[in-house]
A and B are shown apart, each in its own frame.
Chain A
Amino acid sequence: MNNTLLELKNISYKYKNNLILSKINLKINSGEKIALLGKSGSGKTTLISLLNGTIKPTQGEVKLFNKSFEELDRKQKSKITTIWQDLRLIEDFSAEQNVNFGLLPENNFYFAFKNLLNISSFKKAHKYMQLCRLHNSIYDKKIRKLSGGQKQRVAIARSLIQRSNILLADEPFNNLDPKLITTIKNLLLENVDKNNTKKYPKTVLVALHRLDLLNDFDKVIGIRDGKIFFNIKKNNLKKLHLDKIY
């Protein structure tokens, strides 16, 4: 059975005449946990932006659930969520309001309006903020008043509350201390929680810098100068592979 969720077919991407990605072919199957490695400027963020449909390729085709982005309806598109490297939180709103933004796809306009007026329920948001080890004293604080690590966890909570099938994360462990990194990594990669209930997301692609965090991933993709140098099972990763991309 074909369980490919996301597929890039012969993708190239140019920005202002500079070739950022060149002839990328990639398949992401359901349930895979993929680590994306590469130096800064190698094209990791661009690849993630192509995968979530924020930018369109100059050449080639991106398919989600075997359909191009144009063919997908809003609900199908919302099955993919992203933790951006620059977080993309809305500064003037509180932490809990920002987390609630993750619930917008499954709710109507009235919910969005109540959230802006601060009269919606934050129960769900608080649950996910708690999972991300955010203290309840910061729930109603505006984003601009939070520390880098707190902002990072608000962005993660916002992505998790969306309960999407696919999570794309661009260096999600930035600004976090080692203990928190382990907690957040488990949160992103474990499919089953303590009560043995199925968790979201099931499929994860994380852009990383730190090699010591590769343990729980199934596959590793190495990217350099806009080209995929390797796409292998994590157990097959050798120093030789890493030398090619760093």
Chain B
Amino acid sequence: MNKLKLNYTSLSFLPILVCVPIGYQLINNIHFGGFKLFQEFLISAFNPKIDNEIIIIVINRLNETILIGFFSWLVSIIFGVIFGILSSNIFYKIFNIPNFFYCIIRFFLTIVRSIHEVVWGILLMQIYGINFSIGIIAICIPYIAVNSKVFAEQLETIDYKSFEFINQINASKFSSLITLIWNPIINTFKNFGLYRLECSIRSTVILGLFGIGGIGTSIFLSFQTLNFRELWTYLWSLAILIILSGLIFKKIKFNTTNKILSIFFIAVFLTTILFSFSYFLYFIFNNNFENFNSFSSLFKSSSDLELFAFLKLILETIILSLLSTGIAISLPPLVIGIFNNNTSKIFIKIFAFLFRLIPSPIILLILLTFNNPSLSLAALTLGLHNAGITSKLLFTNLEDQDRRNYIAMKSLGISKKTSWLLGLFSQQAKSYLAYCAYRSDIIIRETAIVGVIGSVGLGWQLQESLSSFAWQEVTIVLIAYSSIAIVGELINGKIKNSLT
């Protein structure tokens, strides 16, 4: 018998096997109690509530969402650039600073990044109480670390010969630094920075579900009152916002040689830094941390966590990440490959958009109407939401792909599905898997959100510990979360390197 040989194409489909255990558990957990509700939810999508009152609410809530999203984006991009420079090797080479500092900053940013913005949000809300600025701070903390990683990675691709030239002409260190980093920073901002605004808006919506404000809070409240028509009004208005912002970003072209625009950007840059520092100081000195009197309370509070139960939660979180990643990787190529015609493509794109649009906690709550809470249900939710994102990337890449191989195969009489698989997808499989490796980093962090809602893994424990102000438990759970995310990031980093 021939040995099974794995290649990038087969590796893209193999993870779909996770659907076997997920499907088995889901079938066992099915109940029809809330089926009517689910039906009502679907029908309401075509009949959203539209009247003057709700339009005013939508406008106000969207304003809040845009404000939180925009400010957290602006601050996180600017500080992302600063920390990106501080965590790139080019900075240390130019200033001859020992690598020790480089390792410390990178390690610190990795820890900050490993905790999801929702966790930061819940944590800050518990300490500080519900506040508009908490949303901005909660998004900014991990986003600065994520952005700094992307900027640092780009700075490390600077041609060594350019560095040698600048070094050899002996310009001042700051002049050398800015000359070398200017273009990579601008290019990264153009390619990645605007996309982060969309991410920032999505995070604001998710934080809204936990009470921060904005359209997310309205979505959650309308779901709690089972007012699905209202819920869909909010969801569609959010969809319009995301589509519009996407269209605007496509139109924006940055001309870095435009003097007035450049001066404007620098003014925004400096003002944001100044404002952020002032606000940070205000935040530190002018608040009465409601439920968190001192750091000593971290150690005074007791912990009721049992070792075995805690290890079980860690294991659940890891399994949840693996199962969700499996769905997010394999579902898009499988569905696109099977339903490979123009009409199906439109439907797949609509579903993918809806999975991206509807926040994962809401997807989970909807699925809970006809299924009992379980690890599989949480995995399905997270998998579907992320499959919406990976399928968008796959569609874009496939549309940009050279189609000559595909046409040649079809002309040989090979079936459309096989031609698609071998002539189109096989050439994208490697880069698709590399992106999925990056995506799985995010999935690990997102397990916290579905965990809180779906009573699964460490997310659930975190919510419980926070509710009872058991700070020692909170610390332990956060350390466990962070460790899983860091280990996951290291493994995914290795996979990405081997794929690129």
Q: Does B341 contact A (CB under 8 A)?
A: no
Contact check, A74 vs B172: say whether CB atoms are below 8 A apart: yes
Chain A 76-116 interface residues, beta-carbon cutoff 8 Å to B: 77-78, 81-82, 84, 86, 88, 90, 92-94, 101-102, 104-105, 107-109, 111-113, 115-116
By beta carbon, the residue of chain B nearest A55 is B164
By beta carbon, the residue of chain B nearest A108 is B172
Given known pairs A86-B161, A112-B175, the reply for A74 and B167 (CB within 8 Å) is no
A208 to B148, CA, bound (A): 45
CB of B188, distance to nearest CB on chain A (Å): 12
A53 to B187, CA, bound (A): 31
Contact check, A88 vs B165: say whether CB atoms are below 8 A apart: yes
Residues of B within 8 A of A54 (CB): 164, 167-168
Contact check, B183 vs A104: say whether CB atoms are below 8 A apart: no
Q: Which of B164, B166, B263 has the most CB of A within 10 A?
A: B164
Interface code B171-186, partner A: CB below 8 Å = 1, 0 otherwise? 1101110110011000
Given known pairs A116-B182, A119-B259, the reply for A111 and B175 (CB within 8 Å) is yes
Contact check, A112 vs B174: say whether CB atoms are below 8 A apart: yes
Interface code B139-172, partner A: CB below 8 Å = 1, 0 otherwise? 0000000000000000000000110111111111
Chain A 6-56 interface residues, beta-carbon cutoff 8 Å to B: 52-54
* Chain A contact patch, size range: 20 to 34
Residues of B within 8 A of A105 (CB): 169-172
Residues of B within 8 A of A93 (CB): 183
Interface code A195-212, partner B: CB below 8 Å = 1, 0 otherwise? 000000000000000000
Contact check, A117 vs B259: say whether CB atoms are below 8 A apart: yes
Contact check, B165 vs A104: say whether CB atoms are below 8 A apart: no
Residues of A within 8 A of B175 (CB): 104, 107-109, 111-112
Contact check, A109 vs B169: say whether CB atoms are below 8 A apart: no
CB of B183, distance to nearest CB on chain A (Å): 4
Residues of A within 8 A of B162 (CB): 88, 90
CB of B494, distance to nearest CB on chain A (Å): 26
Cβ-defined partner of B168 (8 Å) among A52, A86, A117, A118:
A52
A118 to B186, CA, bound (A): 14
Residues of A within 8 A of B178 (CB): 109, 112-113, 116
Residues of A within 8 A of B176 (CB): 104
A52 to B187, CA, bound (A): 32
Cβ-defined partner of B179 (8 Å) among A82, A101, A108:
A101
Contact check, B259 vs A118: say whether CB atoms are below 8 A apart: yes
Q: Does A162 contact B (CB under 8 A)?
A: yes
Q: Is the interface of B mostly helix, strand, loop or mixed?
A: helix
Contact check, A102 vs B257: say whether CB atoms are below 8 A apart: no
Residues of A within 8 A of B224 (CB): none
Q: Which of B170, B176, B183, B266 has the most CB of A within 10 A?
A: B170
A92 to B174, CA, bound (A): 19
Residues of B within 8 A of A113 (CB): 178
* Chain B contact patch, size range: 20 to 34
Contact check, B172 vs A109: say whether CB atoms are below 8 A apart: yes
A-B contact count (CB 8 A): 76
Contact check, B262 vs A117: say whether CB atoms are below 8 A apart: yes
By beta carbon, the residue of chain B nearest A84 is B165
Residues of B within 8 A of A81 (CB): 169
By beta carbon, the residue of chain A nearest B162 is A90
Contact check, A116 vs B179: say whether CB atoms are below 8 A apart: yes
By beta carbon, the residue of chain A nearest B184 is A92
Cβ-defined partner of A90 (8 Å) among B170, B174, B183, B262:
B183
A113 to B182, CA, bound (A): 9
Contact check, B257 vs A118: say whether CB atoms are below 8 A apart: yes
Cβ-defined partner of A102 (8 Å) among B169, B187, B256, B262:
B169
Interface code B254-286, partner A: CB below 8 Å = 1, 0 otherwise? 001101001100100000000000000000000
Contact check, B169 vs A101: say whether CB atoms are below 8 A apart: yes
CB of A194, distance to nearest CB on chain B (Å): 28
Residues of B within 8 A of A101 (CB): 166, 169, 171, 179
A113 to B175, CA, bound (A): 7
CB of A115, distance to nearest CB on chain B (Å): 8
A84 to B178, CA, bound (A): 22
Contact check, B168 vs A82: say whether CB atoms are below 8 A apart: yes
Residues of A within 8 A of B259 (CB): 117-119
A77 to B168, CA, bound (A): 8
Contact check, B170 vs A112: say whether CB atoms are below 8 A apart: no
A162 to B164, CA, bound (A): 16
By beta carbon, the residue of chain B nearest A110 is B175
Q: Which of A75, A88, A92, A105 has the most CB of B within 10 A?
A: A88
A100 to B164, CA, bound (A): 17
By beta carbon, the residue of chain A nearest B175 is A112
A115 to B183, CA, bound (A): 13
Residues of A within 8 A of B169 (CB): 78, 81, 101-102, 104-105, 162
Residues of A within 8 A of B161 (CB): 84, 86, 88
Contact check, B164 vs A90: say whether CB atoms are below 8 A apart: no
CB of A203, distance to nearest CB on chain B (Å): 17
A119 to B169, CA, bound (A): 22
Residues of A within 8 A of B187 (CB): 92
Q: Which of B169, B171, B257, B266 has the most CB of A within 10 A?
A: B169
A113 to B256, CA, bound (A): 13
Cβ-defined partner of A112 (8 Å) among B171, B256, B266:
B171
By beta carbon, the residue of chain A nearest B258 is A118
CB of A243, distance to nearest CB on chain B (Å): 35
A52 to B263, CA, bound (A): 37
By beta carbon, the residue of chain B nearest A81 is B169
Residues of A within 8 A of B171 (CB): 78, 101, 104-105, 112
Contact check, A92 vs B262: say whether CB atoms are below 8 A apart: no
Residues of A within 8 A of B174 (CB): 109, 112
Chain B 217-259 interface residues, beta-carbon cutoff 8 Å to A: 256-257, 259
A185 to B208, CA, bound (A): 69
Contact check, A77 vs B170: say whether CB atoms are below 8 A apart: yes
Contact check, B262 vs A104: say whether CB atoms are below 8 A apart: no
Residues of B within 8 A of A115 (CB): 179
Q: Which of B172, B175, B178, B256 has the most CB of A within 10 A?
A: B175
Residues of A within 8 A of B165 (CB): 84, 88, 90
Residues of A within 8 A of B262 (CB): 117-119
CB of B35, distance to nearest CB on chain A (Å): 58
Which 4 pairs between the two chains have the least Cβ-Cβ distance? A104-B171, A112-B175, A88-B165, A78-B170
What are 22 of the A-B contact pairs (CB < 8 Å)? Answer: A52-B168, A53-B168, A54-B164, A78-B170, A81-B169, A90-B165, A90-B183, A101-B166, A104-B172, A104-B179, A105-B169, A105-B170, A108-B172, A109-B178, A112-B171, A112-B174, A115-B179, A116-B179, A116-B182, A117-B259, A117-B262, A119-B262
Sample of 7 more A-B contacts, CB < 8 Å, known A75-B170, A82-B168, A104-B166: A54-B167, A88-B162, A104-B172, A105-B170, A105-B172, A118-B262, A119-B259
